[in-house]
Amino acid sequence: MQSISSRSPLGKGFGDPVLASQRCFRLILAAMSEPGTVQLLGEAVEAPAHVSPAATLVLLTLVDHETPVWLAPGLDAAAPYLRFHCGAPVVDVPSAAAFALVDGSSGELDLGAFNSGDDRYPDRSTTLVVACAAFEGGQGVTLSGPGIQGTRTVSPSGLDGGFWPMVAASNARYPLGVDLILSAGERIMAIPRSTRISVPTEAG
Amino acid sequence: MQKTVTSPLPPRDEAYNFAYLDEATKRMVRRALLKAVAVPGYQVPFGSREMPLARGWGTGGIQVTAAVIGPDDTLKVIDQGADDTTNAVSIRRFFARVAGVATTEATADATIIQTRHRIPEAPLEAGQILVYQVPQPEPLRKLESSEAETRKMHAWGDYGPMYVRLYEDIARFGHVATTYSYPVLVNGRYVMSPSPIPKFDNPKMHMSAALQLFGAGREKRIYAIPPWTEVKSLDFEDHPFEVQKWDEPCALCDAADSYLDEVITDDLGGRMFVCSDTHYCEGRRDAGHRGRLLGTDAGRALTRNEE
**What ipTM does the predicted assembly reach?**
0.95
Partners of A191 in the β-ladder = A180
B275 flagged as catalytic: yes
- B35 to A125: CB separation less than 8 angstroms, yes or no: yes
Mean pLDDT across A122-143: 97
Contact A147 B39 (CB under 8 A): no
Quick one: pLDDT at residue A9? 73
Q: Give pLDDT tens digits for B11-51.
A: 899 999 999 999 999 999 999 999 999 999 999 999 999 99
| Average pLDDT over every residue of A49-65 | 97
pLDDT bin (cut points 50, 70, 90) of residue B1 is very low
Taking CB atoms and an 8 Å cutoff, what residues of chain A touch B44? 123
Q: Do A146 and B156 touch (CB under 8 A)?
A: no
Task: Give me the residue from B28, B34, B225 closest to A28, CB to CB.
Answer: B34
- Give the C-alpha separation, B267 to B263, whole Å: 12
Place B306 in a pLDDT band, splitting at 50, 70 and 90: low
Among B60, B281, B291, B299, the active-site one is B281
Tell me the C-alpha distance between B115 and B130, whole Å: 7
CA–CA dist B181, B179 (Å, integer): 7
Q: CA-to-CA distance for A29 and B253, rounded, in angstroms?
A: 38
pLDDT of res. B3: 55
Where exactly are the structural domains of chain A?
4-198
Q: Which residue has the higher pLDDT, A142 or B269?
A: A142
Min Cα distance A20 → chain B (Å) is 10
Q: For residue B253, indicate whether it is catalytic.
A: yes
Active site residue B127: no
Give me the torsion for CA of B16, B22, B23, B25, rounded to 10°. -150
Q: For residue range B143-161, list pLDDT tens digits in order.
A: 999 999 999 999 999 999 9
Report the chain B residue with the minimal C-alpha distance to residue A175.
B39
- List pLDDT tens digits, range B96-144: 999 999 999 999 999 999 999 999 999 999 999 999 999 999 999 999 9
Is B157 marked active-site?
no
How far apart are the CA of A99 and the nearest CA of chain B, in angstroms?
10
Going by C-alpha positions, the residue among B266, B258, B277, B249 that lies closest to residue B301 is B266
Q: Collapse the DSSP code of B205 into the 3-class scheme (helix H, G, I; strand E, B; otherwise coil) and give the result.
A: helix
Per-residue pLDDT of A181-203, as tens digits, reads 999 999 999 999 999 999 987 65
* Contact between B229 and A146 using a beta-carbon 8 Å cutoff: yes
For range B174-185, the mean pLDDT: 95
User: CA B209 from chain center: how many Å?
Assistant: 16
Q: Is the pLDDT of residue B174 over 50?
A: yes
pLDDT for residue B46: 98
- The pLDDT score that the predictor gives to residue B206 is 98
CA distance A171 to A23: 28
Q: pTM to 2 decimals? A: 0.95
pLDDT confidence bin for A7, thresholds 50/70/90? very low
Residue contact B40–A127, C-beta within 8 A: no
Instruction: Tell me the backbone φ, ψ of residue B76, rounded to 5 degrees.
Output: -120, 140
| Alpha-carbon distances, residue A72 vs A102, A113, A124, B47, B276 (angstroms) | 5, 12, 20, 30, 54
Assign A55 to helix, strand or coil: helix
Chain B environment of A25 (Cβ under 8 Å): 26, 30, 67-68
What's the pLDDT band for B9 if we cut at 50, 70, 90? Answer: confident
Contact yes or no for B37 and A33 at CB 8 A: yes
- Give how far B64 is from chain A: nearest CA, Å: 12
Given the residues B58, B60, B61, B275, the one annotated as active site? B275
The fraction of chain A above a pLDDT of 70, given in percent, is 95
Select from B23, B30, B37, B153 the residue whose CB has the most chain A CBs within 10 Å, as the one to mutate to test that interface: B37
Measured between CA atoms, the residue of chain B closest to residue A192 is: B38
Which CATH number fits the domain A4-198, given the four candidates 3.40.50.11310, 1.10.1060.10, 3.40.630.30, 3.40.50.720? Answer: 3.40.50.11310
Res. A90: pLDDT tops 80: yes
**CA–CA distance, A204 with A165 (Å, rounded to integer):** 13
* Confidence band of B305 (pLDDT split at 50, 70, 90): low
- pLDDT at residue B4, as a whole number: 58
**Is there a contact between A64 and A86 (Cβ–Cβ < 8 Å)?**
yes
- In this predicted model, what pLDDT tens digit does every residue of B269-279 receive, in sequence order? 999 999 999 99
At B229 the pLDDT is: 98
Contacts A18 to B, Cβ<8 Å: 17-18, 23
pLDDT (tens digit per residue) in B199-253: 999 999 999 999 999 999 999 999 999 999 999 999 999 999 999 999 999 999 9
Q: Please give the residue that has the higher pLDDT: either B210 or B302.
A: B210
Rounded to a whole number of angstroms, the distance from the CA of B145 to the nearest CA of chain A is: 16
On average, the pLDDT of chain A sits at 94
Nearest CA in chain A to B21: A18
pLDDT of residue A200: 86
